[in-house]
């Protein structure tokens, strides 16, 4: 086989996907093992090289799509610095996230304020610092922005299917077809410009069709906006690009194939961007936690870790895909894994771990670079996981 043919075999199909998933997870576990000797409390081991790889992979797969990292996925200053250096732009949702951008020295005009609901104080703060782009999905929000920044560039967040997303967002945000009409009417009345369209397919989305449908809806909306005298210049594909846990998830190249195809229908005058959060940071971070206690209650084996729902593992408790690997090898059994706090909701779920697990064993949890440390608290006096950057 030629080199190109080999490469094609390696990058598509279920076997190739499984291999990619396994390799990524093996690398994360290896990085954790190299840090295990220094254990002094829960720690997220973050790989700088993997962060850069994720950015490169995304950009190479979708050359027309400018990535704006969704800061909420992990606002760590060093991560933001690495992404800026790697050539990504940013998406924010709050004053604190904007302040992180100012600190980082980002050109504020390139920042997208994609939270559809913003307090007047945060709109003022953003406008004062030069933010131009503001997402809206209700007429009420247009009135709020009009009073503070009349020359803002609004982009409409439309509703799209979140089917096949591990963490759906539909319902809370996104204008329906009727809602869009109300937005157009209000923007005209307030003499505000609608400059773009956005959607969010939900997080860890494994259904590529949601992006394709979103692009199709945006294309129709562009025509409608033109009919109403607006000049749209932006298509924002939002976030949702998934991590590989089992290899059943589509790879970024597989998603790109269909997104790139769908974008052929979008004129060159439209700037296309996306807001990857989880995809950029998730696979770069593996959490190390330690077993603090074991119990047998009514024949059920319980395993208590030094971090849990309040230590940044809320998604696990909600049934989000997750993997736990023990430092110890051997025959496994099903354990009910829980966090260290006294709260009954601090239970993570059932995991297959070694039968001979002992207190002080280390447990590695790959793919937790996103939405773990940023969500952690010190409830009940247990330390939130630290982050450590490795090569
Ligand atoms: C959270 C969020 C993202 C990032 O989503 P991921 O699933 O982490 O990629 C992007 N855009 C908006 C508006 C968001 O709220």
368 neighbors 332 (Cβ within 8 angstroms): no
Domain-embedded: residue 238: yes
The answer on 178 and 132 residing in a single domain is yes
**How many A from CA of 297 to the centre of ligand 1?**
40
Domain-embedded: residue 203: yes
pTM, two decimal places: 0.95
In ligand 1, the atom with minimum distance to the C-alpha of 202 is: 7
Nearby residues of 66 by Cβ (< 8 Å), 6 or more positions away? 89, 271, 272, 273, 274
Q: What is the pLDDT of residue 3?
A: 47
The answer on 113 and 225 residing in a single domain is yes
Ligand 1, atom 5, residue with closest C-alpha: 239
Burial 25-51 (b: 16+ CB within 10 A, else e): bebbbebbbebeeebeebbbbbbeebb
The answer on 159 and 236 residing in a single domain is yes
The answer on 300 and 231 residing in a single domain is no
Q: What is the pLDDT of residue 152?
A: 98
358/355 Cα distance (integer angstroms): 9
pLDDT digits (tens, 9 = 90+) for 113-170: 999 999 999 999 999 999 999 999 999 999 999 999 999 999 999 999 888 888 887 7
Q: What is the pLDDT of residue 83?
A: 98
**How many A from CA of 6 to the centre of ligand 1?**
34
- Last residue in a domain, options 241, 257, 282: 282
**How many A from CA of 118 to the centre of ligand 1?**
16
**How many A from CA of 303 to the centre of ligand 1?**
32
92/364 Cα distance (integer angstroms): 30
- Last residue in a domain, options 233, 262, 282: 282
**How many A from CA of 9 to the centre of ligand 1?**
31
The answer on 95 and 72 residing in a single domain is yes
**How many A from CA of 276 to the centre of ligand 1?**
6
**How many A from CA of 291 to the centre of ligand 1?**
32
Which one of 277, 283, 368 would you pick to mutate in the ligand 1 pocket, going by the greatest count of ligand atoms within 8 A of its CB? 277
The separation between the first and the last C-alpha atoms of the chain, rounded to the nearest angstrom, is 34
Which one of 111, 112, 158, 238 would you pick to mutate in the ligand 1 pocket, going by the greatest count of ligand atoms within 8 A of its CB? 238
The answer on 357 and 243 residing in a single domain is no
In ligand 1, the atom with minimum distance to the C-alpha of 73 is: 8
Which one of 203, 252, 279 would you pick to mutate in the ligand 1 pocket, going by the greatest count of ligand atoms within 8 A of its CB? 203
Ligand 1, atom 3, residue with closest C-alpha: 239
CATH number at residue 88: 3.20.20.10
The answer on 271 and 124 residing in a single domain is yes
In ligand 1, the atom with minimum distance to the C-alpha of 198 is: 13
248/26 Cα distance (integer angstroms): 17
Residues in contact with ligand 1 (CB, 6 Å cut-off): 70, 72-73, 91, 114, 200, 203, 238-241, 275-279, 370
Q: What is the pLDDT of residue 164?
A: 85
- Last residue in a domain, options 282, 304, 335: 282
**How many A from CA of 73 to the centre of ligand 1?**
8
Q: Number of folded domains in the chain?
A: 2
pLDDT digits (tens, 9 = 90+) for 335-369: 999 999 999 999 999 999 999 999 999 999 999 99
Q: What is the pLDDT of residue 10?
A: 57
376 neighbors 311 (Cβ within 8 angstroms): yes
The answer on 335 and 267 residing in a single domain is no
185/164 Cα distance (integer angstroms): 33
Domain-embedded: residue 121: yes
**How many A from CA of 173 to the centre of ligand 1?**
12
Please list the pLDDT of the chain residue by residue as tens digits (391 residues).
Answer: 344 444 455 567 889 899 999 999 999 999 999 999 999 999 999 999 999 999 999 999 999 999 999 999 999 999 999 999 999 999 999 999 999 999 999 999 999 999 999 999 999 999 999 999 999 999 999 999 999 999 999 999 999 988 888 888 777 899 999 999 999 999 999 999 999 999 999 999 999 999 999 999 999 999 999 999 999 999 999 999 999 999 999 999 999 999 999 999 999 999 999 999 999 999 999 999 999 999 999 999 999 999 999 999 999 999 999 999 999 999 999 999 999 999 999 999 999 999 999 999 999 999 999 999 999 999 999 999 999 999 9
In ligand 1, the atom with minimum distance to the C-alpha of 371 is: 8
The answer on 342 and 246 residing in a single domain is no
Half-sphere exposure of 367 (CA within 13 A, CB side): 22
| Two structure tokens written together for 363 | 């447990």
Domain that holds residue 156: 48-282
CATH number at residue 310: 2.40.37.10
**How many A from CA of 292 to the centre of ligand 1?**
34
């Amino acid at each position: 086989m030629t080199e190109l043919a080999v490469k094609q075999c390696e990058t598509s199909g279920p076997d190739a996907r499984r291999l990619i998933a396994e390799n990524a997870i093996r690398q994360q576990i290896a990085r954790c093992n190299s840090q295990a000797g220094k254990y002094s409390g829960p720690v997220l081991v973050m790989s700088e090289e993997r962060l850069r790889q994720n950015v490169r992979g995304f950009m190479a797969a979708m050359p027309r799509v400018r990535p704006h990292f969704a800061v909420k996925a992990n606002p760590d200053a060093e991560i933001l610095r690495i992404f800026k250096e790697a050539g990504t732009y940013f998406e924010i949702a709050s004053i604190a996230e904007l302040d992180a951008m100012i600190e980082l020295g980002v050109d504020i005009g390139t920042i997208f304020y994609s939270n559809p609901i913003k307090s007047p104080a945060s709109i003022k703060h953003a406008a004062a610092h030069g933010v131009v782009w503001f997402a809206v999905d209700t007429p009420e929000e247009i009135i709020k922005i009009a009073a503070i920044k009349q020359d803002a560039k609004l982009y409409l967040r439309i509703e799209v299917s979140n089917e096949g997303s591990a963490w759906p967002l539909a319902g809370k945000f996104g204008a329906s077809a009727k809602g869009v009409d109300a937005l157009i009417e209000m923007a005209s009345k307030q003499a505000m410009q609608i400059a773009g369209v956005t959607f969010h397919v939900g997080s860890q989305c494994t259904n590529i069709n949601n992006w394709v449908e979103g692009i199709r809806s945006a294309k129709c909306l562009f025509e409608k906006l033109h009919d109403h005298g607006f000049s749209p210049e932006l298509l924002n594909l939002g976030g949702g690009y998934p991590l590989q846990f089992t290899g059943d998830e589509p790879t970024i190249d597989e998603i790109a194939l269909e997104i790139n195809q769908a974008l052929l229908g979008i004129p060159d005058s439209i700037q296309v961007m996306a807001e990857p959060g989880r995809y950029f940071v998730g696979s770069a971070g593996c959490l190390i936690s330690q077993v603090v206690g074991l119990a047998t209650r009514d024949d059920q084996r319980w395993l208590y870790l030094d971090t849990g729902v309040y230590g940044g593992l809320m998604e696990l408790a909600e049934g989000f895909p997750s993997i736990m690997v023990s430092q110890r090898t051997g025959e496994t059994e099903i354990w009910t894994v829980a966090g260290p706090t006294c709260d009954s909701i601090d239970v993570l779920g059932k995991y297959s771990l070694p039968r001979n697990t002992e207190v002080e064993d280390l447990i590695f949890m790959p793919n937790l670079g996103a939405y773990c440390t940023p969500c952690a608290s010190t409830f009940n006096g247990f330390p939130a996981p630290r982050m450590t950057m490795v090569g």
